[in-house]
């Protein structure tokens, strides 16, 4: 299972993050490691750098981690979290420029095929057009 | 003196942000997601909580610890923006700046980090529209009074701008006519720093 790219879902809303993760899991079962996080450090709507770091580490795969985010702060905080990882790890994490729910499902199914991080990212981002 | 100055800066910035938190939230409700005041308050509360430790450190370490506290606590885009500014300033400042030109160099590093993190620049209706003119005044050797005035005027001057970044950009032309909350919080911080330095 650790041979596949993992998926991390970051939403302002914990419920959205969990829901999107459920949808990916339904598609790919245990073939892809999925972690999600949502909510600010007080539990309100927002995102939390510490929680994002935790999600990346808990889902870690040597093949890489694809992150799907919703709005502005989720992306900014995810970029911050990636910079705070070990440099060796941060090279293998990518944020996908895609809608969070659809992008997560696309990325998850691509990852389940054993694709590379670049391929997973491309598939998630293709959905936009 | 150093330690004293750092703790006074933290206290003044926290006072100023907490006193205006509701106003920041109101500005953000108009053109954003309505959490800027709440997020900024969470940030300064984290600074206050770690204030004793931070103010014991040398200037660079204090900036780094403050930046990390902000990044880990704020929960909105403003956390990584202000946090990255502090972390970049920490890397540039080997010691407490001893004159205005040195302050300018440190502030410039912070502004570059905000530009990179936010993928933005002047004129996009963001905190940069306050920070950049303030930096120009610092470099020109302007008085503290003038720097403070330019910060306030620059925040107000974001009102007619069209937002190009953050949630406000979704509103397009409807973002015109409102002061940017990030510009406002930046002006509050500059104001607080000026107050402390003036009384030194």
The residues facing A34 across adjacent strands are: A7
Domain presence at residue A117: yes
The parent domain of residue A85 ranges over 6-126
pLDDT tens digits, residue range B128-166?
999 999 999 999 999 999 999 999 999 999 999 999 998
pLDDT of B114 strictly over 80: yes
Domain presence at residue A35: yes
pLDDT tens digits, residue range B22-42?
999 999 999 988 899 999 999
Q: Which residue ranges make up each domain of chain B? A: 2-198
Tally of domains in chain A = 1
For B65, the token pair is: 């610890």
What is the value of pTM for the model shown? 0.91
Domain presence at residue A57: yes
Assess B77–A contact: CB distance below 8 Å, yes or no: yes
Domain presence at residue A1: no
Q: How far apart are CA B108 and CA B52, in angstroms?
A: 27
Assign residue A71 the CATH number of its domain: 3.40.50.510
Torsion of CA B162, B164, B166, B171, to 10 degrees: 50
Q: How many CA atoms lie within 13 A of B96 on its CB side?
A: 13
Contact state of B79 with A79 under an 8 Å Cβ cutoff: no
ipTM of the complex: 0.82
A40 vs B146, residue with greater confidence: B146
- Which class does domain B2-198 fall in? mainly alpha
Which of A10, A11, A40 should one mutate to test binding to chain B, selecting the residue with the greatest count of B CBs within 10 A? A40
């Amino acid at each position: 299972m650790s041979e596949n790219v993992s998926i991390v879902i970051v939403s302002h809303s914990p419920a959205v993050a969990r829901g999107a993760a459920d949808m990916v899991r339904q598609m790919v079962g245990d073939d892809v490691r999925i972690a999600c996080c949502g909510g600010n450090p007080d539990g309100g709507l927002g995102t939390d750098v510490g929680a994002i770091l935790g999600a990346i580490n808990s889902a870690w795969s040597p093949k890489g981690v694809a992150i799907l985010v919703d709005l502005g702060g989720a992306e900014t905080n995810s970029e911050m979290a990636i910079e705070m990882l070990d440099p060796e790890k941060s090279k293998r994490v990518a944020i996908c420029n895609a809608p969070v729910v659809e992008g997560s499902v696309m990325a998850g199914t691509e990852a389940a095929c054993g694709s590379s991080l670049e391929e997973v990212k491309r598939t998630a981002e293709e959905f936009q057009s | 003196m150093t330690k004293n100055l750092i703790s006074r800066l933290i206290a003044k910035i926290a006072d100023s942000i907490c006193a205006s938190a509701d106003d920041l939230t109101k500005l953000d409700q108009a053109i954003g997601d309505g959490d800027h005041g709440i997020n900024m308050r969470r940030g300064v509360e984290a600074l206050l909580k770690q204030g004793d430790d931070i103010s014991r450190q040398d200037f660079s370490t204090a900036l780094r610890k403050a930046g990390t506290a902000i990044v880990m606590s704020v929960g909105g885009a403003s956390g990584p923006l202000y946090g990255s500014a502090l972390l970049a300033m920490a890397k540039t400042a080997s010691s407490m700046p001893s004159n205005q030109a040195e302050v300018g160099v440190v502030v410039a590093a912070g502004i570059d980090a905000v530009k990179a993190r936010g993928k933005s620049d002047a004129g996009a209706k963001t905190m940069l529209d306050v920070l950049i003119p303030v930096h120009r005044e610092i470099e020109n050797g302007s008085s503290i009074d003038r720097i403070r005035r330019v910060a306030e005027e620059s925040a107000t001057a974001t009102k007619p701008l069209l937002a190009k970044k953050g949630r406000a950009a979704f509103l397009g032309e409807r973002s015109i006519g409102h002061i940017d909350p990030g510009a406002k919080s930046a002006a509050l911080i500059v104001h607080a720093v000026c107050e402390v330095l003036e009384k030194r």
